[in-house]
Chains A and B, each alone.
Chain A
């Protein structure tokens, strides 16, 4: 490129590099020595089970949407390793700030399946969830949760707490000033925060190459003054290892980190989207070969940690859990209309009491 050739006689004053991490190849074989936690077979199986549960849950949610029993829903298909891998490296007391597609992270944090359905079914009680009380709800305005994460991290640091804010967003979000403003501030103040971009290649119909001219998204951390790393987002071992390291750096050294998890959205953007309009079946087909669940299963099977029988049992268990959760969701009675005024303010200002009564009256009448 021309721009690289000019000014060659000038001295170089800074150089930067971006590293990429992966352990498991698409066929489940090992590419480099695995991180320490990977010797814990039970943990690997738990990660695997969570990803499978998430995939079946997604399928059920889409079925509910297609039959008019759920609102628009954002599937995680193909991206299960990212939110599960990241959340698995967090401690309960850390603070999660998720994007709308991070069901896997919420599930890992203890949010109930029926609570996630309630949210997508249009009921705020889904955000009053059983996860850690300080975790943020799904963020819908893209990238606007990044400044919250910086604010949370500032509070944690000010109070000298050993807690970390973990903020998830998509590749589209990295085009917004919000994300840069938050990262820049985190760099200036050395905050205990980890920003994670799930680079699934698409922001609805806009491909990554129209989102950025950068070779990696990880390098965006350089402008904010801290380390960015790229990780194979279809390799849950790599995602978790990167998250463990980043969260430890944030916790112990107040050093913010940025992780770019490269994955692929195998499904539609949401249930309202038809991805066939903007990308070819061949492209998607090719990416199925890299998906995270089959990859970890291949590894587990090769290690004799997992069997066909285990798989069948897991499928049955997940099916039962998902069906039971859907049943509980469908059986949840709607709130009374006037409850839309509840939690609007700590105490409802007197002037709105009449509006609230109006709603209550309509309902009774």
Chain B
């Protein structure tokens, strides 16, 4: 086993998938010679050729639409959108075609594509480079939305996404690309999709998050433990469809829940989880489900972005309040 950063783990998974399956094709802006702006596709073109690792024109709608056409012919395209702020031209293709090709043709055509993009703030990037609109994507029926929070899960979940017979949007926490390091065994083994990972067990409180925010969430759990509060931490990992069983099981045990995401609060995915808990586990609840989120503002540029994103302190404060509720 070797130590890898999250972006290196992505690169390992892409290389492994391309090596195992000649139908896997990587495409996007600057993914070839340059190896991607974050180097996620570094070395792939040299190894697999320019036909399978292609630099597309600068056209995001095209990238997603090409994936649909390729996938319908049985290729397994993995498209890259350079930043989440540029994924919006792809929404037309994701909503109207990728997510529904199987259903509208009753299985005659399918769309086994992956669209990868960096997700979230915290790298002091220019405007439009720090977005986290995963809830928008998770609302689309027929799609899978997956977000790893560690190199190990990045590797295993990306392999799973590429092997999945349906379209997957794979959101990569930009802030963790280099900051997260971990042991990654390049053994070609996928991790399961649609399954949440319990990162830490606890009986007093459930903390739920995904992507980069798990860093703060885990730190908050550490801090809470020094106060004698044992928090269970869940990495949701797949947002669409999300693992209700793990969430509800944990809340049934702890009776208290704080959901953490850096996306804006209104209509965020935290609302979905809170609603499910209210509908299905109200009787287990000892306190209102609480959200710690980004604010309902545009993600601010570098000077203010640290105030936008949930901090360890905000999470700890919310958790304390939930634990003290009676």
Chain A: residues with CB nearer than 8 A to chain B? 95, 97, 124-125, 127-129, 133-134, 136-137, 140-141, 144, 146-156, 158, 165, 177-178, 181-182, 184-185, 188-189, 342-346, 349-352
Contact = CB atoms under 8 A, between A and B. Distances in A.
Which of B56, B57, B65, B164 has the most chain A CB atoms closer than 10 A to its own CB? B65
B73 A185 contact: no
A134 B70 CA distance: 11
6 contacts: A128-B108, A144-B96, A158-B25, A181-B57, A343-B102, A346-B164
A359 to B, nearest CB: 14
Interface string B55-77: 01101011011111111111101
A346 B61 contact: no
Given A144-B93, A151-B73, A156-B73, 18 more contacts: A124-B104, A128-B105, A137-B104, A144-B65, A144-B97, A147-B64, A147-B69, A147-B93, A148-B68, A151-B70, A155-B73, A155-B75, A158-B75, A178-B65, A343-B107, A345-B142, A345-B144, A351-B194
A160 to B, nearest CB: 10
A206 B60 CA distance: 28
Contact of A349 (B56, B65, B103, B241): B241
Contacts of A349: 194, 241
Interface of B: 25, 51-52, 54, 56-57, 59, 61-62, 64-75, 77, 89, 92-93, 96-97, 102-110, 141-142, 144, 164-166, 194, 241-245
Contacts of B52: 158
A151 B106 contact: no
Contacts of B245: 350-351
A95 B73 CA distance: 10
Contacts of B54: 189
A136 to B, nearest CB: 7
B241 A150 contact: no
B65 A134 contact: no
B22 to A, nearest CB: 9
Nearest to A127: B105
A137 B105 contact: yes
Contacts of A177: 59, 61, 89
A153 to B, nearest CB: 8
A136 B109 contact: yes
A350 B72 contact: no
B34 to A, nearest CB: 17
Contacts of A125: 106
Given A144-B96, A346-B166, A351-B243, A185 B109 contact: no
A181 B59 contact: yes
B66 A150 contact: yes
A351 B62 contact: no
